[in-house]
Structure 1
Amino acid sequence: MKQHWLHIVLGIFLCTTSVHAQLDSIQQLPEILLIDAKLIPFSKGYKIEKLSDSLVERNATSLTETLRYNTSIYFKENGFGMVSSPSFRGTNAAQTAVVWNGININSVFTGQTDFNTISPLNYNEISIRSGGGGVQYGSGAIGGSIHLNNTFSFKKVDTTEIGLQYGSFSTLGGSASTTHAKHDYYVNVGVDFINSENNYDYIGKHKTNTHGEFLRFASKLNAAKNLKNGLATWNSEYIFNDRNFPGSLTTIGKDAYKDIATRNLFQLQQNIGAFTTKASIAHLFEEYKYFPDSEKPLYDGGKASTFIGALQSDAVLLKNLRLNTKVTYHYIDARGENIGENTRKTLAVVVLLNHNVSKKFTYGLNFRKEFLNGFDNPLLFSADAKWTISNDYAIRINGSKNYRVPTFNDLYWYAGGNNTLQPETSYQIELGQGLIFKDFKFDLAGFYISSEDLIKWVPGNGGLWQPVNISKTRNYGLEFIIDYTLKISPKHFLSLAANYSYTKAEDLEKETQLMYVPFNKAGGALSYNYKQFLFYIQGLYNGKAYTTTDNSDSVVAFTVFNLGGEFILPFKSNITIGGRLKNVFNRYYESVAYRPMPSRNYQLFLNFKF
């Protein structure tokens, strides 16, 4: 597979030539600011999990790996590095929003994000917001949303970090990032890549994963400038993926897929008394090429540009009432061999309110209305509340109405598109409680989701598949998280982080469990730290998941363990060496039917910080 270094050069050029703010974050962490001003202040009654840097670094091969082991989200993955899609609380991939610095970046073609095309090392903060987020983040935020944020700080810093890794299946990766900041400016530039032959054995099958090579390259630039009574920020990223698709246990792979994504966001914020106004301009671009035969130049493709303009005002009234109003305009221009040339215009008006009634009780009310996009758009709403009963214990509740508009593929696909589709709608409620006692943290949540007019592709006349609004589903379940750190002595620490979820996701017409939604999923890690040495064991359990709509077949339950360790050199504290052994017991497992996952494999890494 060609390396396409031209794309890498163009990616760096894009970033280098392109050169969150919220009250609660400023109060708690005055030196770190977020671009996404809606994530924390208007989500008080929602569960938000922020993944620590150490958790991300342990599973940094892809965003799939990061989230699979550290959250309750289930992933369907067509083999290592191949197409990967999530199921969040039993919803499908198009009902999970991926939000980059406050912007929903799900594909306009498919309505979803392939999590293997995203490097977690490209972001300073990765957060998971459970529950409906349609008011704040638009179409697709039904099961939950994944937030990829680039933070910034005006604290003086001048650092450079370089990471190198090598592993089984001729896997080579590297990353570099440099950050410079003073009291009035911040600049961060970075690159990241991974390349693999991906030729692992199918355990017990006497077969090898062939035609599965892949390359991913990403670059980023993030900058901020402190202005008089305000600030200006700029965020850019470029991502290029080149993958050959392997076959399965029953097929031979020969197709390939290449895609490019660029994202640019400029924001200008001004503070005037109690009011903060922010103007935003963004451009998102995506392009894909699908090759039925990787050895031939013929392909089907598509490209889309999304232009976004937004103006919002944020005010803190009477010291305890916060109001945010926002008007956003989206213009999408998409074209491709299979969808023709089409556009979509969307005007959205959003009103968010949070009221701190007292130090112990807060609630929020949020509304969204969209226009111009050609659909019968419902009024979206959400409400949430949090009651802090004591310093250690709090309960929360939230409810919302959410939606998902049909994608360009749903509407315009040349062989089956249906331009009469209506948006999916969904209602949900969640009740949760959190306990924090010294170094022990526990969170328990119960959820219920009712959805209708779900878009499904079904066979029609002449065997032609076509999307229609037919399905009704009901999802409910429980989730809990435990985090505990035991200080054995001043130099010895033992840490446990674990998560578990039970999910019942029913097709109400067929009275069956939805495809690729396991009833049970659990994960966790036990870590031991002594001075400069860290050792951990990591486990993942996925219960049985049905692979057919009538629940007649399934992928079996599996458990996988990984071991890892790292060591900071005592004479060079800026150098860390380490390694990981994945699938320690060489367990055969699949997350998608007939698509085996890797056999036992290793990864070595070397990190420098200057």
Structure 2
Amino acid sequence: MTKRIFTLFFIYIVHQLSAQESLIDTVFIDNQFRKVSKTAKISNLNSDKILENSTSLSDLLRFQSNIYIKENGRGSTSSPSFRGTTAQQTAFVWNGININSIFLGQGDINNLNPLSYENVGIKYGGGSVIYGSGAIGGSIHLNNILDFNRGFKGTLFSEYGSFGTSNSVAQAKFSNDNFSFSLNINHSRSENDYEIPQRKFINRNGEYENTSFNLGLAYKINPNNEFYWQSQHYDSDQHYPIFSENQTKTKYFVQTFRSLAGWKLHSGKFKNNFKLAYLEDNFQYFGDINKSKTSGGTGKQYIIKNDLDFLVSKNSSFNLITEYQYNEAEGFGSGIKTPKRNLGSFSLLYRNSQSEKFYWELGAKQEIVEGYKSPFLFSASAKYIANHWYQTTINFSRNFRAPTFNDLYWLPGGNPNLKPETSTQAEMAHRFSYRNFTLSITPYYMHIIDNIVWMQATSYWSPENINKVDGYGLETDLSFEKQFGKHQIKGRLSYSYTKSVNLETNKQLMYVPFHRINFNANYQYSWLGIFAQAFYNGKTYTDTDEKNFLEDYFVVNAGVNLNYLKHYQIGFRVNNITNKAYQSVENYFMPKRNYAINIKFNL
């Protein structure tokens, strides 16, 4: 099958090589991300922001976004919650490809090392028309960038912190007029043996270690044709915390391989981005670290995706996105044998900007999925710039999540008759600008039907389509930026109110905090940089009856970076300055005050 795909790809290349016209400057592989940013709420975290929270993607998102992160102790299983939705209702997108697990339907944040990426993008709200299953609450975009005409650039970064923690990355990039090369190797590990004396908590068996190898290549045949390739290999050893010395120690191994090849073409009114991807996820769970594996599995995805833009006029265009996937898996110790699935989709978007002040777009998508009926999806959005100090955007969409192999085939309990989850949602954002200040206010509403929930049957659990959920809330962001002489100040304060209610019980969903506040500030003067970051997490229920809850907490980090020498930067960071004992999942406490020191060398 793979041989056939690459043969077709080669024939398609030969057929199109004669095209000439617009100049291509940069290979930003997820070309849709910049398009949706015109109307959607977007956050971009560049490499400098990533290094401020290099320990894990959980820390990066917890401190630099208002996404709620559920983490079973530092470095262990971790998942996000956008606007009161679940981890399965969040899409993880790697260079434009949805990489949610075909077993679980989600991504484990702590098995996605942030040091592997140059940009982490966050899109709030539904995006299934473009990014497929799971893009209900929002999507997290893990981007690698390939540039041309930048010469050679090398970076070495190494950090050592409390609890025997180290994070290191070596990156090399080279590009000229026609060729671009990027290599990234990173490694993280920690003994992770912290204690919370007043809670009589020790993070026993909490150690972890992971390594990632990332390679990117791009070649420009002529000004209108580029080929690119991005690959990633990830290997992780993650232990799960236990509460007493008498408990059996467990561990979890993960090996991931991702490979993406593509061709970008410009020809007159046409722009085309053709992709071939192969994704493989392997995992092994050990119920006793001294014995052989208890369960495991291998999931493979073969993907063909084409993104065609046709310019109708100077201000309007059609965008056709077609995708075919073949998924196969093999389970061990779970009752899952060798399930297979074919699925395809067709998305059509129309974008129009008749004036500098008004932009709008419409989208429609039909999924064709083997084994069950899939919903018709749509989206509509618009942006209006009233004047220099006020603009507004509106988004309306229908999104979905397909049942996963675990939902359908896990034994005992899998349910092959599940329907996909669907959601309808709307939001309207208002943005105000005054001098160095920008204020955005975004109210939203979301209605989810056929929610897939695992319910206890007799002696086992089984998933059912039972719940309807109403979610609504408000997100506000106030940012400030000013530069005078050698001084530069940046700051951002955000607040979110989230209500996510099970309509059958009229109760707030588990692990959905009502209130969250985030604060980030950076000051730079010549060779001195100072940053501070903080978040407040409000009351959070841990059961469906609103009887048990986690207390609210406030956590502050701060750090300093010194660039006194030309190619060197030395940094120091204090985490959890107030020494707060807190937990984002019941009984799994996070570390109190701890420290990290780092050095960065730019070649």
The two structures have a TM-score, normalised by structure 2, of 0.93
Q: How does 1:360-371 map onto structure 2 within 5 Å?
A: 360-371=357-368
The aligned counterpart of 2:3 is none
The aligned counterpart of 1:260 is 255
TM-fit CA distance, 1:361: 0.4
TM-fit CA distance, 1:509: 0.5
Q: SS at the partner of 1:40?
A: helix
TM-fit CA distance, 1:438: 4.0
CA distances 1:488-542 after superposition (whole Å, capped 9, x unpaired): x412333321211000000110110000000001111233322111122221101
Q: How does 1:267-416 map onto structure 2 within 5 Å?
A: 267-337=262-332, 338=334, 339-416=336-413
TM-fit CA distance, 1:232: 0.7
Cα–Cα, structure 1 residues 297 and 310, in superposed 2: closer, same or farther, change >3 Å? same
Q: Structure 2: how far apart are the matches of 1:310 and 1:54?
A: 32
Contact 1:161 1:608 in 2 (8 A): yes
**Which residue, out of 493, 516, 521, partners 1:526?**
521
Structure 1 counterpart of 2:144, which letter?
A: N
Structure 2 counterpart of 1:171, which letter?
A: T
TM-fit CA distance, 1:556: 0.8
List runs of 5+ in structure 1 lacking aligned partners. Answer: 1-26
Cα–Cα, structure 1 residues 175 and 425, in superposed 2: closer, same or farther, change >3 Å? same
TM-fit CA distance, 1:311: 2.7
Q: Structure 2: how far apart are the matches of 1:431 and 1:510?
A: 28
Q: Structure 2: how far apart are the matches of 1:46 and 1:318?
A: 24
Q: SS at the partner of 1:65?
A: helix
CA distances 1:263-284 after superposition (whole Å, capped 9, x unpaired): 1111112222211233211000
The aligned counterpart of 2:584 is 591
Contact 1:503 1:518 in 2 (8 A): yes
Q: SS at the partner of 2:34?
A: coil
The aligned counterpart of 2:88 is 94
Contact 2:201 2:589 in 1 (8 A): no
Contact 1:44 1:384 in 2 (8 A): no
Q: Structure 2: how far apart are the matches of 1:595 and 1:579?
A: 27
Cα–Cα, structure 1 residues 553 and 260, in superposed 2: closer, same or farther, change >3 Å? same
Q: SS at the partner of 1:79?
A: coil
The aligned counterpart of 1:72 is 66
Q: Structure 2: how far apart are the matches of 1:533 and 1:253?
A: 48
Q: Structure 1: how far apart are the matches of 2:136 and 2:201?
A: 39
Structure 2 counterpart of 1:183, which letter?
A: D
Q: SS at the partner of 1:585?
A: coil
Structure 2 counterpart of 1:426, which letter?
A: S
**Which residue, out of 74, 88, 103, partners 1:109?**
103
The aligned counterpart of 1:535 is 530
Q: SS at the partner of 1:410?
A: helix
Q: SS at the partner of 2:266?
A: strand
Contact 2:248 2:287 in 1 (8 A): no
The aligned counterpart of 1:192 is 186
Contact 2:499 2:508 in 1 (8 A): yes
Q: SS at the partner of 1:38?
A: helix
The aligned counterpart of 2:595 is 602
Q: Which moved more, 1:366-375 or 1:422-431?
A: 366-375
Q: Structure 2: how far apart are the matches of 1:211 and 1:253?
A: 10
Cα–Cα, structure 1 residues 249 and 210, in superposed 2: closer, same or farther, change >3 Å? closer
**Which residue, out of 464, 472, 476, partners 1:476?**
472
CA distances 1:552-603 after superposition (whole Å, capped 9, x unpaired): 101110001112111012xx31100011111112111000000010121101
Q: SS at the partner of 2:478?
A: strand
Q: Structure 1: how far apart are the matches of 2:485 and 2:238?
A: 48
Q: Structure 2: how far apart are the matches of 1:496 and 1:372?
A: 45
Contact 1:474 1:505 in 2 (8 A): yes
Q: Structure 2: how far apart are the matches of 1:365 and 1:298?
A: 49
Structure 2 counterpart of 1:124, which letter?
A: E
Contact 1:246 1:252 in 2 (8 A): no
TM-fit CA distance, 1:251: 8.5
Q: SS at the partner of 2:147?
A: coil
Structure 1 counterpart of 2:326, which letter?
A: Y
Question: Is structure 2 residue 443 aligned with structure 1 residue 450?
Answer: no
Contact 1:77 1:592 in 2 (8 A): yes
**Which residue, out of 157, 161, 183, partners 1:167?**
161
Q: Structure 1: how far apart are the matches of 2:288 and 2:401?
A: 34
CA distances 1:119-172 after superposition (whole Å, capped 9, x unpaired): 212112211111110100110000011111112211232011001111100112
The aligned counterpart of 2:8 is none
The aligned counterpart of 1:45 is 39
Question: Is structure 2 residue 56 aligned with structure 1 residue 59?
Answer: no
**Which residue, out of 132, 136, 151, partners 2:130?**
136
Q: Structure 2: how far apart are the matches of 1:251 and 1:587?
A: 28
Structure 2 counterpart of 1:273, which letter?
A: G
The two structures have a TM-score, normalised by structure 1, of 0.92
Identical positions, percent = 36
Structure 1 counterpart of 2:601, which letter?
A: F
The aligned counterpart of 1:204 is 198
Contact 1:210 1:253 in 2 (8 A): no
Contact 1:43 1:384 in 2 (8 A): no
Q: Structure 2: how far apart are the matches of 1:136 and 1:538?
A: 33
Contact 1:245 1:253 in 2 (8 A): no
**Which residue, out of 574, 580, 583, partners 2:567?**
574
Q: Which moved more, 1:399-408 or 1:293-302?
A: 293-302
Q: Structure 1: how far apart are the matches of 2:241 and 2:41?
A: 38
Q: SS at the partner of 2:35?
A: coil
The aligned counterpart of 1:6 is none
Q: How does 1:29-40 map onto structure 2 within 5 Å?
A: 32-40=26-34
**Which residue, out of 209, 218, 234, partners 1:215?**
209
Contact 2:46 2:118 in 1 (8 A): no
TM-fit CA distance, 1:31: 5.2
CA distances 1:444-495 after superposition (whole Å, capped 9, x unpaired): 10110000100001011x23210000000000000011211244x4123333
Aligned residues: 579
Q: Structure 1: how far apart are the matches of 2:145 and 2:26?
A: 6
Cα–Cα, structure 1 residues 386 and 203, in superposed 2: closer, same or farther, change >3 Å? farther
The aligned counterpart of 2:504 is 509
Contact 1:74 1:88 in 2 (8 A): yes
Structure 1 counterpart of 2:459, which letter?
A: G
Contact 2:27 2:218 in 1 (8 A): no
Q: SS at the partner of 1:39?
A: helix
CA distances 1:407-466 after superposition (whole Å, capped 9, x unpaired): 100000011100010100100000001233443222110110000100001011x23210
List runs of 5+ in structure 2 lacking aligned partners. Answer: 1-21
TM-fit CA distance, 1:51: 1.7
Contact 1:565 1:580 in 2 (8 A): yes
Q: Structure 2: how far apart are the matches of 1:486 and 1:370?
A: 47
Q: Structure 1: how far apart are the matches of 2:174 and 2:329?
A: 38
The aligned counterpart of 1:16 is none
Structure 2 counterpart of 1:204, which letter?
A: Q
Contact 1:164 1:605 in 2 (8 A): yes
Q: Structure 2: how far apart are the matches of 1:563 and 1:50?
A: 21
Q: Structure 2: how far apart are the matches of 1:277 and 1:167?
A: 46
Contact 2:161 2:594 in 1 (8 A): yes
